[in-house]
Amino acid sequence: MANKKDFILDTAEKLFVEQGFDQTSIAQILDATQIARGTLYYYFTSKEEIMDAIIERWISRAFEQMHTWVERKELSILERLMGALAALNMKEEGQEILDHLHAPQNALLHEKTNQILLSKAPEILSPLLQEAIQAGEMQTAYPYESIEMMLTYSLQIFNTSFQTLNRQEQEQKVQAFIYLLEKIFQTKEGYFRPLTQLIH
């Protein structure tokens, strides 16, 4: 097998998404992968460590996708920004992974994930912002910090708790987010309105 570690992660992720993290046992992962217990423990010491590795792998893929969106010069600046931000949305990876990340007992892992995202994502988005400034679409004296603020706000409010809000509360948060972005980046009114497509 070319890469047993990735095979274990792929299989475990599928099980976590299908039946839930808490409901999935190491025995079930072993049964699904058909590998020896010793082989699994060579790569991972626990089920939690497997989930951590799945999240780390997601972060790596998200950064790759962000780079791809930023480089798509045939699209508008806003379209590329929306694509890059969508790459940070974990919904495609399965609700179970999101729930694990946001569980109270995993607060440190959640914080670590956010720190990694905030340390790398602004670097990826900076060239796009510079392009927007040169094109006259945005203006800010603090480009890097403005991107950090945008990402911090989006990571904090548009997580699993956002889905528990009623429609009116969601709309309020979205409108506030758009309002703040237009102030931070000094854009024309309505410039960021298409971002609502990412959230609903």
pLDDT for 54 equals: 87
For residue 134, the model assigns a pLDDT of 95
First to last CA, the chain: 40
Predicted confidence (pLDDT) per residue in 121-130, tens digit: 999 999 999 9
Is it the case that residue 105 has pLDDT exceeding 90? Answer: no
Tell me: do 124 and 186 sit in the same domain.
yes
Q: What is the count of structural domains for the chain?
A: 2
Q: What is the pLDDT of residues 24-33, one digit of tens each?
A: 899 999 999 9
- Quick one: 97 and 160 in the same domain? yes
Please report how many Cα atoms fall inside a 13 Å half-sphere around the Cα of residue 200, on the Cβ side: 15
Domain co-membership, 80 together with 117: yes
58 and 155 co-located in one domain: yes
Q: Are residues 106 and 143 in the same domain?
A: yes
Are 2 and 12 within 8 A, CB to CB? no
Let me know whether 99 and 137 are in one domain.
Answer: yes
- CATH number at 125 reads 1.10.357.10
Collapsed DSSP state (helix, strand, coil) of residue 187: coil
Is 90 found in the same domain as 30? Answer: no
Domain shared by 117 and 183, yes or no: yes
For residue 141, the enclosing domain spans: 52-199
**Spatial distance between the Cα atoms of 46 and 51, rounded to a whole number of angstroms:** 9
At residue 189 the predicted structure's pLDDT band, cuts being 50, 70 and 90, is very high
pLDDT category of residue 132 using cuts at 50, 70 and 90: very high
Statement to judge: residues 35 and 104 lie in one domain: no
Residues 22 and 62 in one domain: no
User: Which residue from 117, 132, 114, 112 is spatially nearest to 66, judged by alpha carbons?
Assistant: 117
Do residues 117 and 155 touch, judged by C-beta distance below 8 A? yes
Highest mean pLDDT among 92-96, 121-125, 152-156: 121-125
**Residues 63, 100 within the same domain:** yes
**Do residue 40 and residue 19 come from a single domain?**
yes
pLDDT at 102 over 70: no
* pLDDT of the residue at 113: 78
Task: State the pTM of this model.
Answer: 0.76
The DSSP result for 98-117, as a single string, is: HHHHHSGGGHHHHHHHHHHH
3-state secondary structure of 163: helix
Residue 28 belongs to domain with CATH number? 1.10.10.60
